[in-house]
Structure formats: structure tokens, C-alpha cells
Structure 1
Amino acid sequence: MKLTKLHCAVITAIAASGPLYAQESIKKDKASIEVIQVTATKRTESIQEVPVTVTALTGDSLEKLGVANFDQYVEFLPNVVFQGTGPGQNEIYIRGAATTQTNISVSSVQALQPSVAFYLDEQPVSMQGRNLDIYATDVERIEVLPGPQGTLFGASSQSGTVRLITNKPTHDGFAAGFDTSISSTKGGDMSNSVEAYFNMSLTDALAVRVAAYNDLQGGWIDNILNVPGQGGYNGSAEVISRISGGVLADPKNVPVIAPQNAMLVEDNFNTAHYAGARFGLSYLINDEWDLLVQHTQQSLDTEGVFAYDPNLEGESSTNRFTPENNNDDFGLTTWTLEGRLEHLDIVYTGGYLDRDINSNIDYTGYTNGGSFSAYYVCNYAGIPESEQECLDPTKFYKEQTSTSRTTHELRMNTSAENRWRITAGLFYDTQDLSTVGQFKIASTDKFPDLARTLVGNEGINSNGGPFPAEISFVNDVTHTIDQIAVFGQLEFDLSESVTASLGARWYQIDDIYKGSTTTADVSGRLRAFGDGSDAALTEFFGADEAASIQAAIASGQLDTSLLDSNGKLTVDDTIIKTAIDWQINQDVMVFASYSEGFRPPVTNRVGGGAAKNQQGAFEGFRIPVYSTTDSLDNIELGFKSTLFEQSLRFNATAYYSKISDLQTSRYDPTNISFLVFTDNVGDAKIKGIDGDFSWVASDNLVISGAFSFLDTELTSINEQLDGIAPAVGSRLPYSAKFSGNLQAQYFFPLKQDMTGYVNGSISYTGKRLAGMAMDAYMIEDATNLIYGTGSGLSIEKEAEVYSGVNYLDSNGEVFAGGRYVQDSYVLANLSVGVTNDEWKAELFIDNVTDKSAILYIDTQQYTPKVVSNRPRTIGFRFSYDFY
């Protein structure tokens, strides 16, 4: 059957799928694959001619797949994973370069930088622990560049870069459209969304484009009544006593008052609401210069939590004891001026990001970790054994974080027609983050003397700040990061078919960390370390502690060389990238490259503090003042091909990465510190193969897919983490050995110039290990004691004993070492619809098999919580475009 114009349009607009898609093109009566244009090298080039691995999900693909936000589209990028506790609280990992997901309650304070850069158009918008969750409306494509991209994209591009490219104003006249949907989730509430855009040429030189959206996602997780003894939270004096050094005389017989949540019981309480708009203005200054200004404004409001308690019956129930919400608002203004001077293309681009986060988090589980646990809830000091008790442990955490980020980049490109081509530029970035975190962690209303012992002799509000009396601990921190960089890349055609390239980036990063906690002056601590003199250290720490710190610095156990006398941390370096590609013929290219990526150092709030446990590997150990830069060196070999008269595209890349001084988040309250800090866990290596394909199998059928094989391994371990972190030879967390997806689209003609279609997709993710601490057996034991039942989650045993923490079981032996397993899963989606040149109507079923996948196991409150996907959802979509 010969393709009609409508059939071709359907291939383009509806049958789009996965990383590649078909286009309106006829060759020998056969539809062919479009050449997608990307900007992975900061030039506009064909995806098949760029000598780097690039995956692209087009806007049509996103529409066909029915995805609009971060956690949805990641499922179709098999070498990309996200881990986190809900919308706006996720981190991205690419090709297995992962450690421990940042504790969301201190992510702003901890400042562990992401290993994957996230861009909206030209602007970096990454943030530690809280990836900016931008709703994907009116999007041209999403580009994923796996592997180090630091020479062109900077510090957080250590293991890859994700770029969301929006549709820009066009000067072709008027266009408008809308898309609306309504859906019902099994066991949950209804969801609905409305998206709309319009584009208008106001004059020959001036055009505007506006896109707006409102998406209300109904919940499916129930906050059920807490019933101790039936899987509900009862608490355990035994858990509290053992992590507090055995302070309770007979913990098995100490009464525990269980927390109550009757007033908070609610079905389907985990709602998410995205609302926002993007405004764009394009001005053609003259034939050679144009200006683009855009502003994006978004509000993301969530209620409840997106994880269930596996100890409760079913996969949609939880017990929470304080109201929880997360309000995340941002405004991003960007500008791009492009033009030509003689033989150079000039681009100046910049942006200003303003983001405000307000969160309330249930922190009740905090009682179950740390040496001070008995202070939080138990009445025991000087109390007769018969009168000892542990009260209601209900706690909360409140966060107010304001972030601003300003970037400027000036770059130039020589003509693409030259035998040699240069891209060169200057980059400046300044980030300011101010955060106040308020914790209720102690039972200040019942035991004020004990709480005062914990937080300071001057009282519960020992920092003198304007905080309620119930607040027992405060983080008040301002963090400023300034970066300047010079980058360049040279490409040279060695012959008509072989091209070599060399790129480099010099950077300098200044990190200024100021503020305090209730118990520590962070600013003064860093100034003392930066000064380094006996007088400065003695004034801040006292004579005996200062002498011990000087000894630790002299021995090399503490590094303070990057700090100046004001406590500012400065690091600079140069990274490189080199590649060679061979265009074997018009349809096949092979390439090889070497590249380097990095994450900058991270300053710790309690740097220099001595470990409580000074035995074994911890003898003389002090918390690092900062974690050092971790680096990733990557070698890859790939090929790109377009075969069988442009009907099949198949690309694949094999790679080997070596990570040195891998940064990780650490929280070891029994041995070291009751505050989270960062450290360098050791070294690792990663081997893998990525691939994707798209095949126009017939005039009516398009099949596409992608896959990732991955092998990760820790090759060395920091000696203080021996027995805490997995052993040498263990896998990195969150990395599946295999993952992949497959999509198929079949379309067929109907009457009156209408076309019907059926779309199906299936994705598979292999099992993954959770976190970088072998604490699963300890956490499982605590779960049994606290809830009266275990979680039922799988654990991979990695050591006979877990000797890093002095937790003893009933036999007086340490626990085995192991990590929770995030089991493999398969998700399938299906849709059927009718379309013509202007409108589309579609019925869809997401998660056809109603699979409850384990996306992430959260152990930040010492019992496991499982973040899962939305249950089976059935809905209807309708869209209309005006031209």
C-alpha cells in the first residue's frame, strides 16, 4: 500500500516512539527514519553525525507515551534512573554512577552536588537531592548525553547531562492547540490535566509563544489508622536502648506509648498538582542577529507521601503521624542572543532562577537512630527501673529554602563548512542557597531538662532565633557557590571521512558555607580551619581539642588546604575530552572517545569532629572538613547506522568508566556523628553497553526500543567504611545489570480522512541494590521490634557480620551485612485512538498489568518505606491544533 500524506503525518505525529521516530518522508514507497537535529556539542547537528552517544525523546514521543513529568519519561531511558521520595525530591543517575540518595531532610544543608546535570534549554538547573521537576509541556525534545560532558556542560555533568529543549516562538504565523485528559487510578482518585499553547507573529520581526498547563494527579496511597500489634507503629524501647548505649535498665519491659494518627487518617492522600506557564518572545534584530527571551513559572504542590509501609497489608498503605506537604515554586528567566560576526557564530545566553521550597515532613522514625535516641522520648535518667517509660515519639521537620542562580555563557563557533572547527566560550555561574530547617526531635514538653541537655544549656531555643518552643534543633545555613570556566573544543577533518577532536575546560569554584546549627557555629569552625594557626584553633575549639586537630592535620587525616582564612573553599582544575570518528559510508559511522568529569568538594557542618567510637578503624578518626573532588574517566567506542533504505536505525556504545574518590552521604550516628556528612567512599569501575533502534517495519508499523547492559564494581574502600560500606567487588547501588524498553505503533486508515492507531510499550528494569551501607539486616530487625512484623523485602547478603556499627542481636552477635533489593519489574502501557490533521482522541491504559514496582527503598527513618509507581490507570485524552 502506498503511503498517503496522512499516513506520513501519522508516522510523524503519532507513531513517534522512544529515542527515535519516523518522519514524513517517502522513498521507494517506504517510510524512512527522520534525522533528528540535536545540540549535544553546542552546535546544531544530526544525531547520527555527532560522534558522541545521544538519546533523544521527541515532543511527539512524549505525547504518544503520555508522559509529562520527570519520573514518567525516565522509564523510557534505560541507562538513566531516578531515586527519591516523590515529585520534586529525586536525583538522576546515568550509567550506574551512583552512591546513596541524599537525605531529603538535609539535602539543602548537606550540599552534595549531583553527578548528572539537568538543563532547561541552555540553563543548568540542577540541585542536590531535589532535581528541578519541570513539567514537560510544549517540548521539542529531551536529550540525554551519557558519560562525562564536563568540557562543554560543567561541574555536575560528571556522568551525563539531561537537557529539556522547549518549543520556541516561530515567525510562521498563528498556531494554537490544547491537550486535555482525564483518568482513573485503581484504588485511587481521579486525575485530570489541561495543556495549551499559542504562537503568534506580531510583526515580521516579532513573535510570541505561550504555553500553560494545570495537572492534578490524584493519590492512591492511604494513611491508615495506626494499630500497634497489627503491623502498625508501636515503637521499641529495646531499639532505643541499644543504639543509645544500653541506657534503659530492662528495655523489653519499659512501656512505650505508640503515636496516634486518628485525625490524619485519609484515603488517597498523596496528591500532586503541577501548574505553570512559559512565555517566549523572539525578535529578529536583522538578517544576522536575533534575540530570544523566555520566562517559565511553575508551582508544584504535593500532599502526603509517595511511599508505602511494606509491613502493612497491601501496597498502598502507610502510617504517618504529622501532616506532610511539599510546596516547590520556581521562576526561570532566560535570554539568548545569537548572531554572526564575519566568520564566527556568536551566542550569548544567560538565565536567572529563583526557587522557593517549603516542606513539612513526618520525622517520627528519627527516634530509632542515633546515640541520643533516649533523650528524644524516654524518661530514664535517675529513674527507678519500674518507672522508666518512653513517650509518644511523634516528630516533624519543617524546611524553608530559597535558591537563586544566575548564569552567563558567551561562546563562538567557526563555520561548520571549515576543515577545522572551533567551539570556545566563557562561563560564569553563581548560586545562593539559604535554608532554615526546624526539627522537633525531643519530647520537650514532657522532659525539658533532658531536651536541654541535648540541644544546649541555654534552653530549647539556644540559638536565640524566632522559633517555636517545640523546635529543638535548627539548621540555619547560607551556601554560595561561584564558578568561572573557560572551555573550548577543536574538530579537525583528517580526511573526508575521519575527524578528530580535542576539548578542554578550566574551571575555578569558590564555595562559601556560612551559618550555624543549634549546637555548632559552622562559620566559625571553617574560619578556624582556614586560618590553621594554633591561636585560631584554640580560640574556637579549646586547647586540648586544638592540639588533637593539629595532630590530625599533620598526619594527613584532616585536609584543610583548600580553605582560606575566611573559610572559603576554592578548587580549580582542567579536564579534557578527545574523540575520533570515521564515517565509513553515508549510513555508518564509528567513533571512540576519552572524557573526564568531576563533582566539586562538599563542605561538612561538623568537619573535624571526633568519632564517638575511637576503636579499630575509627581510632583517631575525625569527620572530613570537606569531601574531596570525585572524578570520572570514561572511554567509549560506538557506532551509528541507518540501514535498509533509511528504514532502520541502530546505534550502540560500549564504555568503561573509572571513578576515583567517589563521594557519598554518610550518617553513622552510633559511631561518629548524629549529623549527616559527606565523605569519599573509595573507587569504582563501570562497564556497559547502551543501544537503541527504530525500525519502520512496514507502511503501517513502527517498532523501536533501547537497552542497557551494566556491570559496576567497587574497587577500593575508605578504611573507616570497611564493614559499613559494601566490600571491594560489590555492585554500586541503583544499577540494574539489564534494562530496556520496546514500543510498537500500528496505524490504519479509516473513513473521512481519519486514521486509527494502536500504541503499545513495555519497559523492563532489572533488580538493583539500595544504598551504600550494609545495614538492611539491622533495619529489618528494628522493623520487627517497632512494628511487630518484618518488611518482607528481599535482602542480598554481602557479609557474614555487619561490624561497622555496634548493634547486637539477642545472641550478643553483630548483624550480617547486606542491602535491600529493589526487585526487577516490567511495566506496560497501551493506547488506541483516532486522528486527522487537526485533532486526536485516545483511550489509554497505563500500567496494564497493575504492577507495583519497587522504584526506591527509603531507609532514612530506620525502617524501610517503598516508593512505588501509580497503579493501573485508565483514561481519555483529546487534543486539537489550530493552524
Structure 2
Amino acid sequence: MRTVRMTHLFKRHGIDWYRRFGRDPPHRAGCVGRGKITTNPGERAMKPNPKISAAVAAILSAPATAVVWAGAETTPATGAGNELQEVIVTAERRAESVQDVPITIQALTSETLAQLNVKTFDDFVKYLPNVTAGGYGPGQSNVFIRGLATSIGGTQGVGATGSFPNVATYLDDQSGQVPGRNLDIYAADLERIEILEGPQGTLFGAGAQAGVIRYITNKPKLDRVEANVSASYATTAHGDPSTSIEGVLNVPVIPDKFAVRVVAYNDSRGGYINNIPGTFTRAATDQVVVNYFGGVVPPNSGPINNNFQIGRATNPLTYKGVRGELLYQFNDDWNFLVSQSYQNLDAEGVFWQEAYDGVHNVLPELSVQLYSPSYNKDRFTDTAWTLNGKLGVLQAVYTGAYLDRNITQQQDYTNYARGTYAGYYQCDYPGYPFFPAGTDANGNTIRGTTPGSTGFCYSPSAFWTDHQQDTHQSHEIRLSTPTDWRIRALVGGFYEKYLIYEGTDWFYGTSPHFYPIGPPQVYAVPGTNPVQIAPYPVTVQNPNVRPLGDAFFDDIKRGYTQWAGFASVDFDIIPKTLTLTGGTRYYSMDTIEQGTNVGSFGCEIQGFYDFGTGTTPSTPPNPCVSTVANGIPSNQNNLDAKHLEHTWSGAKSRANLTWHITPEILSYVTWSQGFRPGGFNRAQAHVTGPLAGVFVPPVSYAPDNLINYELGWKTEWLDRHLQINGAVYR
């Protein structure tokens, strides 16, 4: 990729060459232009961007290494102009050099992000040792730090079924992690990105069990006008071109009193995955054909093709967003900051390739065969506010935020038709329609069959849709002593209300012999015989009966309300040389889960399993909804009736000893704890084998706990031209 930097009203300034590689896509090559105008009061000359000074410090032999990328806009160190620059971070809720923070931390500054030409999580994660991600596309990843993460089976319904993450994501002071879907914040006008490795339960609480990723935005400047515009064009090997534009404007409306900063961006990335022509034909090896048709595909079970879905480079990706910040300085001690962010991520198609089709025919590279539209539309708004000031000698901070994230996704699911269970919803088994033909000697109803009925399978077309809303409301108050005291303290209180609203619908019911399903209005009273049906409507976002073809749905609300108090104390045993740190966090977390998941098993008309009893035919109600009058015709799970509410509380702590052997060499030993929220086993588990009657799966599971033991070091050599940082942990 060729880079062109432009200053002085976009006058050409210089040219560099480099090539950009994505983690999954082929490489892109292109041209980038940037312009920057900075004006200070009394100074009108336009200044070009300073040259980037960056270094990578790593210990390849250590089990863990910290890499520091130092940018030219951070506080400079003394000495030669090409020495490493000092990076200031706030990982411990106070500003300090990254080399003085006694934890493993990586920091990507604004200059480093620009130099690497990275803007998204998938762009920069490949530069981070000990940080990886596994997922299905942008904003659909599960983040691993030090190999720790929670597992997910797929993005469909992950808000309802996935475990809470153990890697926290923060936009400034607002947490935004959700199961299986990383908050993919576009790196526009960021001061830096901090990656904190290891448990951070004391200062960052629930979800920071394995670590924290923090996006720190640039704040308004009260003393200068700044304008910055950058644009790029890139080509993608085997794909479509990409374009982007980003603009930043900082204006001191009232110099030294009130300033406004705005950034807007539009990044359109060309696709590279081709949806090639395909025909889905049922095969003798399909499980439904093997189990119910004797390995012979039923006649006239016509195939489907994907003629209306084929295309080249079908996975374009677009990030659009805007962020505005207002800063008001009341006096030398107090200021107030308000921030409003909006981002829309639009990912079409899919971001993987298929090696084979459903019957093991080899497919070309960078190709798939999809039969239904696939896309992921992910947008969020975040409103945040921060009040900074002093109460006597104490530094006081109050920060609050409200994050609202909305996801709409659809994915092709046609290969599900080759499994065992799809046949019930897509085929008439041989002998259909069925009827009760009396009882056998054991009193079991005999399944009667229709003579001459050889069976038939309808369209294998299938897809799922997911509508998810995540809301985070948080408030935090912190008080801290001056940083130059020998005994330093930080105390604070935290409140968060975190809710997930998940609605997932699986459309694989192509047989016309079903009645539609809907949310249940009753539940079966446990322990009653015969079963008693009691009214109990569920809490749902969509109370409507689902359309025909919707064979299964989740409609779940889950989350927690958390209260916490925390404290941390530093004591200089030997000033500026040996420091002992201790901290703890007490939390109380009220966790809930409500709603339902409903399937259409039991809703087939004269089906293989739904034909009646004795000699009395049975027909499911239309619609096939569980009510007092209908009973429970379909398989349902009424979560409201299970009263899935639980309060967990506890304390997580840390202890640290830091030794500045010399001003350039720091070593530390840390003991720390982390945790992530607990949840509920909402499904009814059936235990068989030796444990039957001995073990009963609990309704709820408590928060996970993690204890970390770590020995680390941070060193600078050759007159600040080389950093070697590392850590050994268990």
C-alpha cells in the first residue's frame, strides 16, 4: 500500500510504501491521504504531523511478553530525538507511564494506529501477543487473553445461550462486553488502546477475569483549533476496492473555557468471498434419508438452487459513525465532559470460506454456497458524561454512561437439512398421514399408516434471524489522594444495570402440515400427576404468533444489576523504590433471566409423533400455542415460571510489590483475582447412567473465579532506545 501524507492545505508532503494484510482477507494495496491543521491562540502557522517514533519491546523466551508501541504525540522523554517515547496510560485509574505500571499492559497510541493503518479490532489484534480472537466476522468474535475465554456454539441466539465474557471491553469508562459479540469500535480519533492482561477484578469488576481492552478517545482541547482529514483508496486481491474518509474538528468555542470536538468516518471495505452457483439435492447419506427412508431419497423431493444469491465479493463491510464531545472548564479544579457516539457496522455475506459443499465436493478458495441472504447489521449509541474536580486535596471523579447496542442478523442454515432432526419439519415420512390404530398388549398406541404413501421431502431451504439489543447503564464515583504522597489511596463506588434482549427465530419448517407457534401463556405445575396447567404468561419482546416456517424461537431477557465498592492503597516502603499495593472490591449482583424458548415439536398435523392415542385422532390447536384451553401441545420452556433470579456477592482482591531496581528497571510480583458473572441452567437436564438419581444439575451457577500469580519486569536499555518487558504467570 502506498501512503501519501499531506499538510499545508493538503500539499503533498511525503510518500511511503507498505502493504496491508488482514487477518482473514487477502491483502489490500492502496493510497492514503492525510491532512492536519493546528492553530493555537496567537499562532496561525499550520504545522505538519511529527514523524512517528515507535519501537517494539519483546522477550521471545518469556511465557508472556508485553509490547509497547510508543507514538510521537505522547509525553516525550529526554535525550536524543530518536529514543523511545513515553506512553501515559490510566490502567490503574491514574495517569502514569506504562513502564511504571506493575501489570502486563500493551498500549497502541494514536500514532502507532496510524502507522500500522489499523482501524478495527480484527486489524490490530494480530499485533498483540497473548491476545487472540475466534469468531464469525466483524463484531462477532470471542476474545481470548492469555488463552482464557468463554466458549460459544455460534452467534445465533448467543445473547440467550452464551456465557458472559471474561474479557471486558471499555469505551473510555463505559463497559460494553456481551456474549460472543465483541464491541468492534472503529479506531477514529483515539488517544490510545490499552490492553490489560490478567485478572483486573479490583478496579474493573465483573467480566475482567482474563483482562480488559480499553478504547480511550481524544478529548476536546481548550486552547487550539484542530482540523484533520484523511482519505484512502485500496484494492483487495481477488476482491473489490475499498475507500475510507475520516474527519476531525476541534474548536475552542470559548478559549480556555469551552471546547467542542467532533469526528466522523465512513470506511467501506470491499468483499472477497464469492457465493458460487450451487444446487442443493438431498443425498442418500443425509441422516434423515438414512433413518427414515432406508437410504433412498424419496421421489420428487426436488432440489433448490442459489441462483438469486450468487455473486462475486459478496461480503462488503462498512463502518459509519460520528462522535461529538463537549468539555466545559468551570475553574482550575473542575470540568465537565459530555460525549455522544454513534456507529453503524454493516457486514454483508459471510467472512469465511467453505472447503467443501454439503456432500464433500471440493469448492474453490474464497468461496461458499449459500442459499439464503446473509448479513449482520450492528449499531450502537453511547452517551457518557464525566465530572472531574477536587474536594480539598482529594481528586474526585464521577462518570456515567448509557450504551445501547442493536444487532440484526440473518444467516443461511440450509445444510441443517442434512441432519437427523430436520426431517421432522421438512418431510412427510413414509406412511403419512398417520393415525391411531388401537393399542398393543402393553397399552401403547399403535401408529397407523396410510397405504401407498412413500413419503416426500419439501424444500431444504433454511435460515435463522437474530434480533438482539444490549443496554449498559453505569455510574462510578472515585476519590483519590495526591500521587506524590507516600501513602496513596483510591476509593470508589460502582453501579451497573446490564440487560440483553435476545430474539432468535429458526426458519427450517418447510412442511405445510404444521400450525404456527407462539409464546406460552401457561406452565406445567411441577410434581403434579396428572399434570396441572396453570396460567403464567412469559415476559417477551415479541408476543405475536410466529409465521409459518418458524420452527423454533428464543425470546429471552437476561442480565444483572450490580453494586460494588472498591479501594486500593499504595505504600512506598522506600520512596520511589519499593512500593506495596493492596486492593479489594466487594460486589453484589442481582442476576435474572426471563422469557421462553419454544419449538414446534408436537404441532404437526397427523404427524409421525402427533397422531393421537388409542383410536382417537389428535390435531394440534391452530395456532399451536400453550394456553389453559389448549394445554401444552408444543415443546416449550417458560423461564418466568422458573423464577430465575439470584443474588451473588463476594470480594475480589489483589496484592502487589513493585521494586524500581533502577530508574530504568522495574520488577514486580502480583497476586490478583478476577471473576465473571454467574447464570442459569435454563434447560431441563436429564441425568442417566450411574449418576441418575444421585446428581441433580443446579438451576443456577455461581460466578467463575480466577487467581493469578505473576512475576514481571519492565526495563529500558541503551539510553532509552530499547525496551525489554516480560512476565511469568500462573
C-alpha separation in 2, matches of 1:250 and 1:566:
45
1:336 aligns with 2:336: no
Match of 1:574 among 621, 646, 651: 651
Give the drift of 1:504: 0.7
Partner residue, 2:225:
174
C-alpha separation in 2, matches of 1:16 and 1:172:
31
CA distances 1:692-735 after superposition (whole Å, capped 9, x unpaired): xxxxxxxxxxxxxxxxxxxxxxxxxxxxxxxxxxxxxxxxxxxx
Match of 2:597 among 498, 505, 517: 517
CA contact (8 A) 2:487 2:571 kept: yes
CA contact (8 A) 2:431 2:452 kept: no
Q: 1:185 to 1:111 in 2, by over 3 A?
A: same
Match of 1:372 among 380, 404, 421: 421
DSSP 3-state at the match of 1:56: strand
Q: 1:306 to 1:22 in 2, by over 3 A?
A: closer
CA distances 1:418-452 after superposition (whole Å, capped 9, x unpaired): 1111111100000222222222122233x437x98
Partner residue, 1:481:
560
Match of 2:52 among 6, 9, 13: 13
DSSP 3-state at the match of 1:156: coil
C-alpha separation in 1, matches of 2:653 and 2:496:
20
Q: 1:224 to 1:174 in 2, by over 3 A?
A: same
C-alpha separation in 1, matches of 2:452 and 2:227:
75
1:609 aligns with 2:658: no
Higher relative contact order structure (alpha carbons within 8 Å, sequence separation ≥ 6): 1
Match of 1:388 among 430, 452, 455: 455
C-alpha separation in 1, matches of 2:521 and 2:390:
63
Give the drift of 1:471: 1.8
Query: Which stretch shows the higher mean deviation, 29-38 or 477-486?
Result: 29-38
Q: 1:582 to 1:9 in 2, by over 3 A?
A: farther
Query: Which stretch shows the higher mean deviation, 343-352 or 105-114?
Result: 105-114
C-alpha separation in 2, matches of 1:12 and 1:514:
55
DSSP 3-state at the match of 2:417: helix
Give the drift of 1:610: 2.1
Q: 1:28 to 1:298 in 2, by over 3 A?
A: closer
CA distances 1:513-552 after superposition (whole Å, capped 9, x unpaired): 11112259xxxxxxxxxxxxxxxxxx9xx9xxxxxxxxxx
Q: TM-score, normalised by structure 1?
A: 0.63
Match of 1:212 among 264, 284, 295: 264
DSSP 3-state at the match of 1:104: coil
Q: 1:618 to 1:71 in 2, by over 3 A?
A: farther
CA contact (8 A) 1:248 1:388 kept: no
C-alpha separation in 1, matches of 2:430 and 2:701:
38
Give the drift of 1:572: 0.9
1:640 aligns with 2:714: yes
1:503 aligns with 2:555: no
Greater per-residue helix proportion: 1
Partner residue, 1:727:
none
Partner residue, 1:732:
none
C-alpha separation in 2, matches of 1:23 and 1:272:
31
Partner residue, 2:550:
471
Q: Which amino acid letter does the alignment assign opposite residue 193 of structure 1?
A: S
C-alpha separation in 1, matches of 2:312 and 2:696:
47
Give the drift of 1:309: 0.6
C-alpha separation in 1, matches of 2:417 and 2:110:
46
Q: 1:10 to 1:50 in 2, by over 3 A?
A: same
CA contact (8 A) 2:54 2:69 kept: no
C-alpha separation in 2, matches of 1:209 and 1:578:
39
Structure 1 segment 675-714 matched on structure 2, within 5 A = none
Q: Which amino acid letter does the alignment assign opposite residue 413 of structure 1?
A: S
CA contact (8 A) 2:480 2:488 kept: yes
Q: 1:456 to 1:269 in 2, by over 3 A?
A: farther
Q: Which amino acid letter does the alignment assign opposite residue 174 of structure 1?
A: V
C-alpha separation in 1, matches of 2:492 and 2:395:
12
C-alpha separation in 2, matches of 1:490 and 1:616:
52
CA contact (8 A) 1:237 1:390 kept: no
Query: Which stretch shows the higher mean deviation, 379-388 or 212-221?
Result: 379-388
Q: Which amino acid letter does the alignment assign opposite residue 380 of structure 1?
A: Y
1:248 aligns with 2:324: no
Q: 1:112 to 1:518 in 2, by over 3 A?
A: same
C-alpha separation in 1, matches of 2:543 and 2:384:
40
1:493 aligns with 2:572: yes
Q: 1:472 to 1:564 in 2, by over 3 A?
A: closer
1:101 aligns with 2:101: no
C-alpha separation in 2, matches of 1:368 and 1:117:
38
Partner residue, 2:139:
88
Q: 1:615 to 1:301 in 2, by over 3 A?
A: same
Partner residue, 2:478:
411
Match of 1:596 among 648, 655, 673: 673
CA distances 1:111-137 after superposition (whole Å, capped 9, x unpaired): 410110000111111111111111100
C-alpha separation in 1, matches of 2:53 and 2:711:
33
CA contact (8 A) 2:283 2:297 kept: no
Structure 1 segment 645-794 matched on structure 2, within 5 A = 645-656=719-730
The structure having more radius of gyration, on CA atoms, is: 2
Match of 1:324 among 368, 374, 388: 374
Q: 1:276 to 1:373 in 2, by over 3 A?
A: same
C-alpha separation in 2, matches of 1:237 and 1:573:
56
C-alpha separation in 2, matches of 1:94 and 1:337:
32
Partner residue, 1:678:
none
Partner residue, 2:499:
432
Structure 1 segment 89-488 matched on structure 2, within 5 A = 89-203=140-254, 204-227=256-279, 233-236=280-283, 238-241=285-288, 247-254=291-298, 257-311=302-356, 312-369=362-419, 372-380=421-429, 382-383=431-432, 387-445=454-512, 447-448=513-514, 465-488=544-567
DSSP 3-state at the match of 1:168: coil
DSSP 3-state at the match of 1:356: strand
C-alpha separation in 1, matches of 2:302 and 2:675:
48
CA contact (8 A) 1:250 1:385 kept: no
Give the drift of 1:376: 2.5
Partner residue, 2:36:
none
C-alpha separation in 1, matches of 2:374 and 2:110:
34
DSSP 3-state at the match of 1:181: strand
Which ranges in structure 2 are unaligned for 5 or more consecutive residues?
Answer: 1-12, 15-46, 57-66, 357-361, 433-450, 523-539, 601-627, 632-638
CA distances 1:818-846 after superposition (whole Å, capped 9, x unpaired): xxxxxxxxxxxxxxxxxxxxxxxxxxxxx
CA contact (8 A) 1:456 1:519 kept: no
Give the drift of 1:82: 1.2
DSSP 3-state at the match of 1:263: coil
C-alpha separation in 2, matches of 1:252 and 1:512:
48
Give the drift of 1:565: 8.6
C-alpha separation in 2, matches of 1:290 and 1:102:
46
CA contact (8 A) 2:648 2:702 kept: no
CA contact (8 A) 1:196 1:213 kept: yes
